[in-house]
Chains A and B, each alone.
Chain A
């Protein structure tokens, strides 16, 4: 008798994506036949490695419609965010010390900005509306003579909400302020052309676009304006002096291939995934009461949905299916702080709804059958957890939960 493997479905592609096999195939020779250091200038091993890196740089530049010299390789998006923000702050501190960013940014941006306040930076955090979008008038009003940088993420990791990038770019242009974007979730999934938008620095990473982990990049505009960042690591002066350290050649080669595949296939992927995502959303919201989709549904990534299932705690819900299905929750029950997702709280969700949220992020390898499987498991899980939930029972009895005297702990 055949033993059937239990179905395992990965809908956590915003955390990381599996490598595309075509990417891995391209990388393999750089572990064996071509082991050189791309900075070794005096033998063919070095030349081959350098060729691989140069080609990858071209592939990535083509995806972004930029010059290959504008791509600085790093270890990942966190390093790119750090390099961009700290590097700009140090390079342009004679011009000012004010940075504007948004409350729903990734921690790699928020904590970097926070760190800079210790060395004299002044940070303005823009709020977002209920749909996750910033208010352009508020951005414009926040810019002052000392503002050197505006940092706004292209698409949010938790909700998929896409900010009005072109409008932000126009405002930055008008005031002559640098515009940096953490585009980690957007690059390779949707068109991200910094020159058309007016983005001067852009952080992104390979492992969110079906490439390997441990390699990322920072786009730094070289022309109108020519932007420079102060290096954050001292050493051999690689990457035009902005990022020292031997290049991760196999990783970069894979990143390049991932970018090429994305350039050719991302529109088709997006179209297919949008249909699947919409089906997932439709099935869940029609088969379950009291579900709320978080974030603006018209301005968001096609493969992401973030749904709160009222009166069900997210981590507990995940436990009903996490042997088979990978998703993530805005409930931070596992973290020491016990605070739910700050991104969802910034959207004005009550903490209770933030604790009840699940993020589904589909990817290139997600199938129709998997989505159907997830819908069934989710519906069963939510119903089960609601049967266990005292507040669902109270809600069903018509108790106004906001009038209950809770013993907060």
Chain B
């Protein structure tokens, strides 16, 4: 199975790899997937509390090329968005942008879950009502 150009580009030059300080109240962390399933994504956001805008995003992913590309793309999209805007990112947007084949759709689902997980973590840390809970699916 050949990968799309965009998956290859993100895989070869992943954006925003790294770790944010999870002890900071402005940082939210989403950790989704399981090693047994072959995919684990950790996506972190740093939020400016005054504007509710995501000023930084980082990821680390254990998984196949599509999983890495999905998380890399997600961090790109998150930067500069408000939390409200970030919550509108749908996994199918990722599928479309990366031209993921059907067997790789779960990678995009995982990325959406990771985004929601990071936002929920930020919100609960700061006593904000959690907009959307991530349910394992």
Contacts and interface: CB of A to CB of B under 8 A. Distances in A.
Given A355-B35, A408-B34, A389 B62 contact: yes
Contacts of A387: 17
B63 A313 contact: yes
A48 interface: no
A409 interface: yes
Most buried by B among A335, A389, A406, A407: A407
Interface string A195-217: 00000000000000000000000
Interface in B6-43: 11, 14, 17, 19, 31-42
A30 interface: no
Interface residues of B, number: 34
B124 to A, nearest CB: 15
A198 B33 CA distance: 49
For the residues of B in contact with A, the DSSP-based class is mixed
A333 B17 CA distance: 22
Interface in A373-391: 385, 387-391
B51 to A, nearest CB: 28
Size bracket, chain A contacts:
20 to 34
B35 A388 contact: no
Contact of A406 (B34, B64, B106): B34
B91 to A, nearest CB: 12
A387 B34 CA distance: 18
A409 B35 contact: no
A82 to B, nearest CB: 27
B67 A316 contact: yes
A315 B17 CA distance: 19
Given A313-B38, A336-B103, 19 more contacts: A313-B67, A315-B64, A316-B65, A316-B68, A331-B38, A334-B1, A334-B103, A338-B106, A352-B38, A388-B61, A390-B31, A390-B41, A391-B62, A393-B19, A401-B35, A407-B32, A407-B33, A409-B113, A409-B136
